Amino acid sequence: MPNQKSDKSLFRLISTLILIGLIVTLALQNSTSQEVKIYFWSFSLPLFVLLFLAFVIGVLLMLVLLYPKYRKADSSDSKILRLEQEITRLEKQVTSNTTESK
């Protein structure tokens, strides 16, 4: 088992280094400034910053849109757990009643 854990940590380390390398490469190859206009504002940012901001905005938008679905699923899970506990309680009650009646 210890070998599997070290394999996972090595895989994570290698994956992280590859991801960092890709991000650095993206930043170096897209470091030119780009002018951004939003209504009457205008500012200039490096292209990789704009790409990163677009990514972050997309992730945040996804989280906001998917939150109700996960909350509903969590609510359903808690209802299922409550009902399973009730079934267990009722089964114990039926078992105790049948043993008392004998």
pLDDT tens-place string over residues 17-54: 999 999 889 888 888 888 988 898 898 988 888 888 89
Q: How far apart are CA 47 and CA 36, in angstroms?
A: 10
For residues 22 and 35, membership in a common domain is answered with no
pTM: predicted TM-score of the whole model, two decimal places: 0.51
For residues 16 and 37, membership in a common domain is answered with no
Contact predicate 51/26, CB 8 Å:
yes
Which neighbouring-strand residues pair with 38? 41
For residues 80 and 69, membership in a common domain is answered with yes
> Do the bridges between strand 41-46 and strand 33-38 make them parallel or antiparallel, or are there none, so unpaired?
antiparallel
Structure confidence by residue, pLDDT tens digits, 61-101: 998 888 877 676 666 777 888 888 888 888 888 888 777 76
For residues 39 and 86, membership in a common domain is answered with yes
For residues 59 and 94, membership in a common domain is answered with yes
Domain that includes residue 5, residue range:
1-30
- In the chain, the number of structural domains is 2
For residues 8 and 55, membership in a common domain is answered with no
